[in-house]
Structure 1
Amino acid sequence: DLLWSAVEVVVWEWLNEHGRWRPYSAAVCHHIENVLKGDARGTVVLGQVDAQLSPYVIDLQSMHQFRQDT
């Protein structure tokens, strides 16, 4: 018998300037999920995981991503 293990994978995405949804990396998705578990209305600082995303934060209550340096 083959045993199948079910693995749940959550993929977070952001909407780009062309109106297309783009996935975050697996590490960023994992970080978002961890923050969400701790405080569902908190803020996710994306630069804590990916230096290229350091200007960006996600407000979990509104589900919006913001750029802090503009």
Structure 2
Amino acid sequence: MGVVVTGTALFYGLGLLAMLITYFMPSNKDKGLTATLVVLTTVCTWLLWLITFMVQVNPLIYPIMPVAEVAVE
């Protein structure tokens, strides 16, 4: 599970960096919306990465090799 923890920490760090960037942006009326969108984007991309990683580590459907390719000459 080292890869999952490393990837999660990476997304957490990038999300924190994006939040800091939005915090130091010039004031405008949409600052709260921007912060919400940054958090939502970070969570959605992390979830996409995690699901993709988990499917590749433990596939539900394994590849089936044709019988003709299995025969050794």
TM-score (structure 1 length as normaliser)? 0.29
By percentage of residues, which structure has more helix? 2
Q: Which has the higher contact order (CA 8 A, sep 6+)?
A: 2
By percentage of residues, which structure has more strand? 1
Q: Which has the larger radius of gyration?
A: 2
